[in-house]
Amino acid sequence: MTLVVLAAGLGSRYGGLKQLDPITPEGEFIIDFSVYDAIRAGYKKVVFIILEKNYEHFRETIGSRLERHIEVEYAFQEMTLPVGMTPPERKKPWGTAHALISCRGKVDDCFTVINADDFYGQDAFLRIAEYFQSGCGKKQIYHFCMAGYVLSNTLTDNGSVSRGVCSIDDDGFLTNVIERKEIRRSSGGAEYRDGDRWIPIPPESIVSMNCFGFAPEALDYIAEGFERFLRNPDTDLSTGEYYLPTAVKEMLNAGICDVKVLPTSDNWYGVTYREDKPFVVREISKLIDSGIYPRGLWK
């Protein structure tokens, strides 16, 4: 199995390259804990999707210390568009689904995709690895999976966040996912913005944190979906992004796959905003003190 890490984000709300901000006295990043958990779950390779301009710094600070423990490769998310399309004026990359396309040719087995700046906990990696013990290849349709987090376990006190809110059938399979770009805590638990209104959302809702398990063939379907996204007259090419939950929803609707939701009760931690860092540092320190992680992951 392969771990694919989406690490090309610019960290605009955070105010810097947040993937390279240490969270332990030993100089470890959130990414280190995700890779450590993946290795413990049986993953043999990690592919980091980054911006090419960050390669040297990224490899020096993260990749070089992981190379002794797991096979490491890099893929670059680029701004290029399909032949015949003129790129618009924009600074941000094209979104998480487009980023994932960058690793085509570097993944040849079942793989899990995660965000670089999210702490998922070890349970998600163990559950996906167990689900993929029978393989992820096509048997009439592809059998993908997703770690499902309780919404209230994924919110920050420092602003709003983007989450893929999931609908799940009685057998535990994903039926729909809606990308809500602004969700925040409220007196009633949680709410999301819809235009000028804030609408309550159950805090126990299951959400996607971009922790999906795929077969390599999914990358081809996602690439086709990105091209449709670009050619859609409703797409704002100057600001629009092609999100991974959107791509998954399209594959579901096309009957290409099913997606098993693997619930986890672990808390998600992330540094969406710079003010989030002290909390994340404290919580991960507690996990180290309790023995879930060693002090110094790579010693």
Sheet strands (E) in the chain: 2-6, 45-50, 71-76, 111-115, 118-119, 142-150, 161-168, 174-186, 189-194, 197-200, 206-214, 257-264, 269-270
Letter for the amino acid at 93?
Answer: P
Average pLDDT score over the chain: 87
Provide the 3-class DSSP secondary structure of residue 185.
Answer: strand
In SS3 terms, 85-110 reads as CCCCCCCCCCCHHHHHHCCCCCCCCC
pLDDT tens for 168-194 read: 999 999 999 888 889 999 988 999 999
pLDDT category of residue 215 using cuts at 50, 70 and 90: very high
> How confident is residue 15, by pLDDT bands cut at 50, 70 and 90?
very low
Backbone angles phi, psi at 199, to 5 degrees: -110, 130
Q: What percent of the chain has pLDDT over 90?
A: 53
Domain that holds residue 229: 2-289
What does the pLDDT read at residue 12? 44
Q: What is the pLDDT of residues 275-296, one digit of tens each?
A: 888 888 999 999 999 999 999 9
Q: What is the CATH number of the domain that holds 46?
A: 3.90.550.10
The residue among 241 and 41 whose pLDDT is bigger is 41
Residues in the chain: 299
Q: Is residue 299 part of a domain?
A: no
Q: Are 207 and 166 within 8 A, CB to CB?
A: yes
Is 295 within the bounds of a domain? no
Question: Is 140:60 a contact under the CB 8 Å cutoff?
Answer: no
> Which pLDDT does position 13 carry in this prediction?
41
Buried b (16+ CB within 10 A) or exposed e, 249-261: bbbbeeebbbbbb
Q: 13 or 131: whose pLDDT is higher?
A: 131
Tokens of 155: 């919110």
For the residues 95-99, what does the mean pLDDT come to? 90
Give the integer Cα–Cα distance in Å for 192 and 134: 38
Q: Encoding tokens for residue 278? A: 């002290």
Per-residue pLDDT, averaged over 131-156, amounts to 85
Alpha-carbon distance of 177 to 199, in angstroms, equals 17
Q: How many CB atoms lie within 10 A of CB 228?
A: 11
In a domain, 296, yes or no: no
Q: Range with the lowest mean pLDDT among 31-35, 93-97, 273-277?
A: 273-277
3-state SS assignment for residue 131: helix
Q: How many domains in the chain?
A: 1
Residue percentage of the chain with pLDDT more than 70: 91
Residue 103 binned pLDDT confidence (cut-offs 50, 70, 90):
very high
Beta bridge partners of 143: 258
- CA distance readout (Å), 144 to 66, 85, 162, 214, 216: 27, 31, 22, 5, 11
Q: Report yes or no on 90 lying in a domain.
A: yes
